[in-house]
């Protein structure tokens, strides 16, 4: 089976879905393919900073998300010995230090908006199996496999790889990426928030382990444990109660919820941590955005927001070409020119924040710092 479209976007995460939504609004024929059968996998970056929030507001999309799924966080706290030793507050009245939106809610809002246009097609449960090339060697579409095992060819003037840190589009395009470890991996868990829990982010060092709490919309707390890189296999040989005991010692108020909802290693999700940079973001007929172009770590919650910025900038660059029916090589190159320096600066900032993390706990006496002063 063969389909024809102007733009084929591989990857239905926030960046790919936002780009598809914006292009569909402007009348482009867009096919969005996503390997997951339902939108919004668990335990992904879900904190909007000012950049990501600004992108959604710019396009009138933030208000399309269910209000109960939008949770402004009021402060960031660093804890030591069960007490707050440093507080980061919003830098203006009525502001926040981040906004939590469950990824499933964000994607549903974007898909609902895009689905109102007849020129938009969404293909969940679809996996990229290869790229199509024209006579000149230019990318001309993708080969895919549907959930039922059937195979299709989607021919398009442009392929966008928004398919994450292990991008199939990048691999099939033969674009090299340099990868760098950060010395740690993360274990995630999610529990119901205790009654009276405030919308905050908390961070501490307990028994030599970094622990992080992220209040989530709809009444949950996401918990992150830093563990030594590649240590998960050995860690699983130990009683999982060692981790939960450490968590309860650091944040006693969580004890009932932790004991009820974290009962085995199956209640944790492992995220291997690394950053990467693609050698290039574009080839004739193909472009990478988000984690496919530049994988980031969870530190500072930059990954989601930089991916949304990629989608916004690529949309801007493609507009004139779409309106004039021009080929897209120059806009693809301009995306990388506009975005690479910012992304690499953020990656360097992540390394610095991780190396200096312990400094947040030394010689502090309940410091209150506004987020603009960080």
- pLDDT tens per residue across span 311-340: 999 999 998 777 666 555 667 888 999 999
In total, the chain counts a number of residues equal to 374
Rounded to the nearest 5°, which phi and psi values hold at 251? Answer: -135, 80
In a domain, 60, yes or no: no
In a domain, 207, yes or no: yes
Same domain for 129 and 158? Answer: yes
Residue 192: which CATH number? 3.30.9.100
Give residue-wise pLDDT tens across range 213-258: 999 999 999 999 999 999 999 999 998 888 899 999 999 999 999 9
Same domain for 125 and 23? Answer: yes
Cα–Cα nearest to 142, from 34, 8, 288, 16: 8
Same domain for 108 and 149? Answer: yes
**CA–CA separation, 183 and 274 (whole Å):** 8
Give residue-wise pLDDT tens across range 22-61: 999 999 999 999 999 988 665 567 999 999 999 999 999 9
Same domain for 22 and 162? Answer: yes
Give residue-wise pLDDT tens across range 302-317: 999 999 999 999 999 9
In a domain, 251, yes or no: yes
Token pair for 14: 């926030």
Residue range of the domain that includes 303: 2-41+103-180+275-356
With 0-12 / 13-18 / 19 or more C-beta atoms within 10 angstroms meaning exposed / middle / buried, residue 184 is middle
- Number of independent structural domains in the chain: 2
Same domain for 194 and 141? Answer: no
Beta-bridge partner residues of 120: 30
**CA–CA separation, 128 and 140 (whole Å):** 14
Same domain for 207 and 323? Answer: no
The pLDDT of residue 365 is 47
Same domain for 70 and 199? Answer: yes
Same domain for 111 and 86? Answer: no
Over pLDDT 70: what percentage of the chain?
Answer: 93
- The pTM (predicted TM-score) of the whole model is 0.93
Domain final position from 272, 303, 332: 272
Give residue-wise pLDDT tens across range 97-134: 999 999 999 999 999 999 999 999 999 999 999 999 99
In a domain, 374, yes or no: no
In a domain, 133, yes or no: yes
Residue that has been written with the tokens 């897209």 in this structure: 328
Residue 142: which CATH number? 3.50.50.60
Same domain for 188 and 337? Answer: no
Same domain for 201 and 313? Answer: no
Same domain for 239 and 315? Answer: no
Same domain for 282 and 332? Answer: yes
**CA–CA separation, 264 and 239 (whole Å):** 9
Q: If residue 3 lies in a helix (H) or strand (E), which one and from where to where?
A: strand 2-10
* pLDDT confidence band for 155 (50 / 70 / 90): very high
**CB neighbours of residue 84 within 10 Å:** 17
In a domain, 129, yes or no: yes
The pLDDT of residue 320 is 75
The pLDDT of residue 1 is 85
Q: Helices 14-25 & 302-324, crossing angle to 10 degrees? A: 30
**CB neighbours of residue 19 within 10 Å:** 30
In a domain, 367, yes or no: no
Domain final position from 227, 244, 272: 272
Handedness of CA 334, 337, 343, 346 (dihedral sign): negative
Domain final position from 243, 272, 301: 272
Token pair for 130: 């290869």
The pLDDT of residue 373 is 47
């Amino acid at each position: 089976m063969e389909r024809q479209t102007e733009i084929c976007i591989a990857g239905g995460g926030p960046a790919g879905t936002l780009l598809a939504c914006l292009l569909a609004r402007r009348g482009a024929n867009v096919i969005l393919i996503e390997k997951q059968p339902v939108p919004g996998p668990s335990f992904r970056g879900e904190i909007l900073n000012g950049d990501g929030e600004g992108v959604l507001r710019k396009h009138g999309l933030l208000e399309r998300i269910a209000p109960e799924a939008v949770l402004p966080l009021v402060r960031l706290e660093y804890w030591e010995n069960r007490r707050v030793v440093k507080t980061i507050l919003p830098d203006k009245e009525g502001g926040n230090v981040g906004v939590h939106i469950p990824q499933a809610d964000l994607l549903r809002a974007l898909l609902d908006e895009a689905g109102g246009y007849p020129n938009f097609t969404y293909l969940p449960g679809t996996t990229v199996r290869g790229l199509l090339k024209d006579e000149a060697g230019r990318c001309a579409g993708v080969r895919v496999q549907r959930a039922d095992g059937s195979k299709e060819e989607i021919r398009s003037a442009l392929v966008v790889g928004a398919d994450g840190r292990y991008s199939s589009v990048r691999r099939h395009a033969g674009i090299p990426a340099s990868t760098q470890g950060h010395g740690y991996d993360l274990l995630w868990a999610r529990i119901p928030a205790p009654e009276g829990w405030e919308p905050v982010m908390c961070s501490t060092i307990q028994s030599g382990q970094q622990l992080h709490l992220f209040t989530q919309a709809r009444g949950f707390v996401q918990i992150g444990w830093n563990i030594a890189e590649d240590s998960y296999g050995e860690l699983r040989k130990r009683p999982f109660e060692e981790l939960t005991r450490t968590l309860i010692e650091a944040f006693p108020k969580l004890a009932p919820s932790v004991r009820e909802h974290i009962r085995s290693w199956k209640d944790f999700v492992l995220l291997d941590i690394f950053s990467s940079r693609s050698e290039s973001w574009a080839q004739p007929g193909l472009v990478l955005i988000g984690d496919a172009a530049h994988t980031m770590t969870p530190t500072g919650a930059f990954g989601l927001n930089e991916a949304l910025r990629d989608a916004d900038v690529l949309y801007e660059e493609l507009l004139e070409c779409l309106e004039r029916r021009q080929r897209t090589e120059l806009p693809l190159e301009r995306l990388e020119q506009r975005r690479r320096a910012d992304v690499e600066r953020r990656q360097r900032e992540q390394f610095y924040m991780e190396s200096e993390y312990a400094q947040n706990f030394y010689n502090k006496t309940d410091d209150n710092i506004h987020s603009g002063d960080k």
